[in-house]
Amino acid sequence: MVDETGIFDLFNTSLIFWEVVTFFIVIFLLIRYVYPPIRDQIRTRQSQIEQAIDEAEKTRAEAKELLAEYRRQIEEARSEGRQILDQARKQGEAQRERTKREAREEGDRIIQRAREEIERERDNTLRDIRREVGDMVIQASEQVLGRELDRDEHERLISEALDSLETEVAGSTGSAADGRAGS
């Protein structure tokens, strides 16, 4: 019985059998000796990739934390800078006010000293004028009366002359002040 198609040929059938047996032997050898190292290599590589991913996530989280910390520090520095600027501005204002106050006080002291000096000079001038007027009154009285005056008469005449002089000075000072005030 010869099969013309060759499918059921005994020679061809034994070849297929041996090919199947060889295929299973190769599969067994591959599974037994080749697959475990490849599987181990794949697992090792997979765990390395997972570790790298975990480390990358940790690094990313740390970077976010550092970024947040840096932003916080920058904001603190800005806030501190604003506080320093405000404090410097306040100190400048205080210094300016203190300087103004000291200048005003110094001006007031200078004016007060000038007033005191003017008052002293006025008093000295009035004393000198009294003395001179007194001497002139005595001389004029002696010439008019033709005699020398005693002490009491002398004092009385000086007082009268000075009183009239003071009245004139007060009247001229008051009218001069009125004239200046009216201008």
- The sign of the dihedral angle between the CA atoms of 19, 22, 24, 30 is negative
pLDDT at 153: 73
Q: What is the pTM of this model?
A: 0.39
Alpha-carbon distance of 134 to 137, in angstroms, equals: 5
Distance CA 102, CA 152 (A): 55
Residue 140: pLDDT band (50, 70, 90) is confident
User: What's residue 6's pLDDT?
Assistant: 56
The pLDDT of residue 183: 47
- pLDDT for res 97: 94
Helix, strand, or coil here: 168? helix
Tokens describing residue 55: 């480390």
Which band of pLDDT confidence, cut at 50, 70 and 90, is reported for residue 158? confident
Where does the pLDDT of residue 129 fall: very low under 50, low under 70, confident under 90, or very high at 90 and above? confident
Instruction: Label residue 92 by pLDDT band (50, 70, 90).
Output: very high
Decide if pLDDT at 130 tops 70: yes
Number of Cβ within 10 Å of residue 161's Cβ equals 18
Give pLDDT, residue 1: 46
Q: Which are the contacts of 152, defined by CB distance < 8 A and separation ≥ 6? A: none
The half-sphere exposure of 77 on its side-chain side, counting CA atoms within 13 A, is: 6
Domain ranges of the chain: 10-168
pLDDT-derived band at 3, boundaries 50, 70, 90: low
